[in-house]
Amino acid sequence: MNLIGNIYIDGFANTESLDGKSHNINNLSFGGFSNIFNQSFITKHIEFFKKLKVHCITTHSIFEKWEGKLNKTVKFNIHHYNYQELPPVAFIIESQGKRSSFVMFDNPIKIKEFNFDNNDNLIFYGDKLSIENAKLSKGKFFIDTAGNNYKDLLLPNNQYPKGSIISISSEYLTKELEKRYRNDLEFIIVSHNPKCTKIYSNSEIKTIENNYYVDSNQKSFQVTGLGDKYFALISFYNSHYKYSLEKAVEISQKDIFELIKS
């Protein structure tokens, strides 16, 4: 499977820091598609990462720093797509178990031509990345979304083929977006929240309850990029093991529960 995505720079703060003073943000990390390269996630899903061909879109200096922090026990198949513009920067504020992100420099990137092979493709993020020759790919597309700009979520310059599977958090899925993805683009929608996942196809909507749901008010846990990890797993189980989307969702729900409780 091809993993194609952009690296974000994440800076963290909490509401206790909102005291009217100036603060230096030292707690920086790599976000975006790099959310799935978390050490514990790699360890638990080593088979997934061995099957990946990673295509990283960012500046040369950011790529070198990110690559230098990767798990050296795993040999990643990585290709660097050198992009000269500033990387997206997210300022993340934590409050009462929730995170609010404020993102700068996150404009959609246009790639004129990508050298696709016969493998399926996992995109981070489809609302921020337009590949002009995507419809020539023989593989299926699994498209994750960033969701920080509604106009981008509408995919006004969509190049992804019919039958692509697009993931979106349920709080972002409006009736307009449902119609756009389901009717206009003929995508399959995977809409998710911690309690359940809904799969929208042309003919029906299937709801898969999360039997492993943990209320964040009852249990304290903090894992970055859970939605990204969740959809990556769904994509892998559907693409590599050929499980139905419903079964891929159920297995991935259990996997995420195991991750957050560890």
Q: Which pLDDT score, from 0 to 100, does residue 220 have?
A: 43
Tell me the CATH architecture of domain 2-261.
3-Layer(aba) Sandwich (3.40)
Does residue 216 surpass a pLDDT of 80? no
The neighbouring-strand residues paired with 92 are 12, 101
Confidence of residue 223 (pLDDT cuts 50, 70, 90): low
Q: Which pLDDT score, from 0 to 100, does residue 39 have?
A: 86
Q: Which pLDDT score, from 0 to 100, does residue 110 have?
A: 94
Does residue 21 surpass a pLDDT of 90? no
Mean pLDDT of the chain: 92
Please report where in the chains the tokens 């958090």 appear, as a residue.
Answer: 169
**Average of per-residue pLDDT across 229-255:** 97
What is the per-residue pLDDT across 45-95, written as a single tens digit (0 to 9) for each? 998 998 999 999 999 999 999 999 887 778 889 999 999 999 999 998 888
Please work out, in degrees rounded to the nearest 5, the angle formed at the alpha carbon of residue 120 by the alpha carbons of 116 and 126.
80
Does residue 187 surpass a pLDDT of 90? yes
Does residue 161 surpass a pLDDT of 50? yes
Does residue 193 surpass a pLDDT of 80? yes
Does residue 25 surpass a pLDDT of 80? yes
- Give the rounded percent of residues in the chain with a pLDDT score beyond 90: 74
Q: Which pLDDT score, from 0 to 100, does residue 211 have?
A: 95
Q: Where are the domains of the chain?
A: 2-261
Confidence of residue 111 (pLDDT cuts 50, 70, 90): very high
